[in-house]
Structure 1
Amino acid sequence: MCNEGVYAWENVRGALPIRMTFENVSSEPCTFALLRKAYKRLGYFPGGGEWLGSEGVPYFQPTICKFRHPRVSNSLMSECLSEAKISYVLTMGDSTAGRYSDALINTLTLNSEQLIIEEIKEDGFLPDKNYFTREMPDEVAQYVTSKFRFCCGCASKLHRAEFYSDNNSYFLNIEHIAQTMILDDSLQLTFPSYKGAAKVMDKVWAITTQELILRYYLKDKHPDVFLIFLPFVHAKENIRLSRLPMEIEYFKGLVEEYLPNTTKLFYITSYGEFEEQRKSSEWYKHLFEGMLARDKIDKMNRILYDVLEDDLLKRDGRYFGFFDLIDISEDRGNWSTDSVHMEVVWYESIMSMFWETYCNSVLLDMF
């Protein structure tokens, strides 16, 4: 799971079956309003479609709607970000989510220039408490402690930049917060044992890492767009399916409690793992609750949908889903680098799909 090499889509061009025609694709642009209709009709996130290629750039074309560009156009991005007036995009999840976050930035810089204002990153197995306490009040920061987490590729990072394109410019903060479990205690509040500590604990408290981050780290900087990648790659090893709904509900409740309604919440499904690409024979066809990893992750995605369904179907709500990435990734095994992580082309393709769907929704007023 910790293959942290850098990959480029040029590496896989030769292995990709490029198909230049695809019939029976809806001509409607992809929007979140259209996806909501699909959820209502299907009772799940939509899959179905085909990987295509144009000038060597692979992209996915779903059947329910149409993406106009292999990579979202710069003019669309510039117009939509100006219209939406967003300044802070947050992702949360494990190392795969971190790669999606990098792809968000890469998508923005495909046809534009950027002036990097600030970059901060934590590193290693131990969460960097200084990364988070810099945004916390002193009465909280002094009690924050961290402990080992089982993910060598999980690191929080902030990218603050000004992007230039088509005589326009906009500032954007893109941040990724590492999360190895849906709920964990890798970052927590630890109070010394002394007289009066109870009074402090009445005012300063957080039960989980996620609550600590949402309550204190994000207290004065609420994201406009929050992409949530629940870490099912890790959770499949430790959480039974029977317990999963409770954990998702608890996390969902924390987000609702600490983030305002102006924050749009996008829950993104996990893609499947590929047994043939495993680096260790110990994990090859290993079973989790009697299922291969891909099958259990698929069930976890479906539980996620069941928990969120009522909120996803609300018009003018703050909850949004996306596509069924298990289905979309099914024939992309040649992009898998270690069974868990994918080539950069995957993350850039999916984030281009996200940005185009988001921008279409903004400009057509179809959230």
Structure 2
Amino acid sequence: MNSVNLYKNYRDDLENLVFGVHALGMKKTMIVFGGEGVKWVLATVGVGFFLGMILLGPTYDVTTRKRNPAMLSNQLPDCSNDFFREFIKKHHRYPNDIQWNANYTDFSPLSCHIRLQNIKQCLKRKQIQKIALYGASQVHRYGLQLAETFKRAGFDCKKTKEERRKPIHRIDRDYFAAGNKSLRSKMMIGSEYVCSGCSSYQIVCKSNDFNGDVVHIEFISTENVNTTTLILKNTTVPPTYEHFIFDVYLGKSFPDLNVFFLPMNHIKRHPVERFVREFPATLLPLVKRVKPPKAEFFFIPGTSEFEESRSAKSRDYKNKLWYGLLATDAIRKLNSVLFSFLESDIMNLNSKISSFLDLTEVTASLGHLCKDGSHFDNQWYYTFWKVFLNVYCHED
């Protein structure tokens, strides 16, 4: 489809869409159409109409040249888990066509309206006391920015524990034994980590109001879906790190909210067939077996990489093909495979297993925030949580 035909298809909607910016005055904004790896960008000029909101804001209000802004905004459904579920039922994909605001501090799907939520009330309502984040170096950053998000929502957050790797690429058995000498004696170090900046950690966030609610955040370093970083000897637990984490380490105190950022930047280093074979046979059934019925589990797709941003340290990876594909294309393919495995669970209200927007599409225009080809400035990680939590906390 050429750009002329694409414009004709979207013309009626585009004539009415101008989205808010953070300061009054003329701003150049972008409407980006993603999906299937193709992006069409139309630049428009509009008048911004509201100042940035303080708490987890701003959210998007859509204005029009012809009608009252509130009227048009109300015509868009709210972005929520139920909306996503219905969208997937109809289109068999997430609504990955998204719009960024002018300074890339907020984004929203084009098909729904992100409504601002009270995060503190949400955590209390959903009885979230423990959150676990899984992944590699990206998630090290996501975790810190989740704590920053909670701080802005009215919590005091402090890091209370961190994994000490000796040497740096080997797992810290004392961290995961947590004082259990019997368990520590059964631990065996297996394969080394690839990531040097992925040490697990714990953060405690305490509400600064009179209720004093406490939320525990833990980042658990995970570089793939079926590894032997740490295994147990003389036990009935299968000899993989993932079985240790979910069967043993989290077995007696499973987190209420789990967000597993699939480390596609690591997984892409192996043939796609390996992920196709291992994810549905190892990690997914393991999570479904050990997860308590009320615990929620999100598998999050990988983000884009940027060849032009490769640092000197990573120059060997610049324009490198991973089994015939550049990094972002390889990650996009893995994200598509991930969704195919999760779709039936997402549609099942009782599974409590879900996913999110394809982050290759969401981050495709963030090259200016990427300094080394794969990792972003904190602005992205904080923005992700703003959007994710506003959707997650929406009461349908």
TM-score, scaled to structure 1:
0.83
Alignment match, 1:355: 389
Deviations 1:24-54 (A, max 9, x none): 876322211111112222212221121115x
User: What are the residue-to-residue correspondences of 1:27-38 with 2, within 5 Å?
Assistant: 27-38=76-87
SS at match of 1:169: coil
Aligned-residue identity in percent = 24
Counterparts of 2:130 and 2:269 in 1: how far apart (Å)? 32
* Counterpart amino acid of residue 247 in structure 1: E
Counterparts of 2:84 and 2:142 in 1: how far apart (Å)? 21
| Matched pairs, number | 326
Match of 1:172 among 211, 215, 231: 215
User: What are the residue-to-residue correspondences of 1:239-318 with 2, within 5 Å?
Assistant: 240-249=271-280, 250-279=282-311, 280-318=314-352
**TM-fit CA distance, 1:57:** 7.2
**TM-fit CA distance, 1:245:** 2.0
Q: Which structure 2 residue ranges, 5 or more long, are not aligned?
A: 1-26, 31-47, 50-61, 64-71
Alignment match, 2:14: none
Deviations 1:266-312 (A, max 9, x none): 11111111110112332111001100010010000000011111111
Match of 1:219 among 244, 251, 256: 251
C-alpha contact (below 8 Å) 1:311/1:317 kept by paired residues: yes
C-alpha contact (below 8 Å) 1:119/1:160 kept by paired residues: no
Quick check: which has more Rg, 1 or 2? Answer: 2
Counterparts of 1:111 and 1:308 in 2: how far apart (Å)? 31
RMSD of the alignment, in Å?
2.2
**TM-fit CA distance, 1:241:** 1.4
Counterparts of 1:37 and 1:172 in 2: how far apart (Å)? 31
CA spacing shift, 1:106–1:221, aligned 2, 3 Å: same
CA spacing shift, 1:152–1:31, aligned 2, 3 Å: same
**TM-fit CA distance, 1:316:** 3.5
Counterparts of 1:129 and 1:223 in 2: how far apart (Å)? 21
Alignment match, 2:112: 65
Alignment match, 1:157: 201
Counterparts of 2:175 and 2:388 in 1: how far apart (Å)? 28
Alignment match, 2:11: none
1:231 equivalent to 2:280? Answer no
Alignment match, 2:174: 130
* Counterpart amino acid of residue 44 in structure 1: R
Alignment match, 1:79: 121
Deviations 1:248-269 (A, max 9, x none): 1110111122222221111111
C-alpha contact (below 8 Å) 2:345/2:353 kept by paired residues: yes
Counterparts of 1:133 and 1:259 in 2: how far apart (Å)? 21
Match of 2:239 among 207, 217, 224: 207
Counterparts of 1:334 and 1:18 in 2: how far apart (Å)? 16
SS at match of 1:237: coil
* Counterpart amino acid of residue 194 in structure 2: F
Deviations 1:107-141 (A, max 9, x none): 11014241648333444321111110116x54432
**TM-fit CA distance, 1:225:** 0.5
SS at match of 2:268: helix
CA spacing shift, 1:117–1:241, aligned 2, 3 Å: closer
TM-score, scaled to structure 2:
0.77
Counterparts of 1:157 and 1:309 in 2: how far apart (Å)? 31
Higher RCO (CA < 8 A, seq sep 6+)? 1
Q: Which structure 1 residue ranges, 5 or more long, are not aligned?
A: 1-15, 192-200
SS at match of 1:260: coil
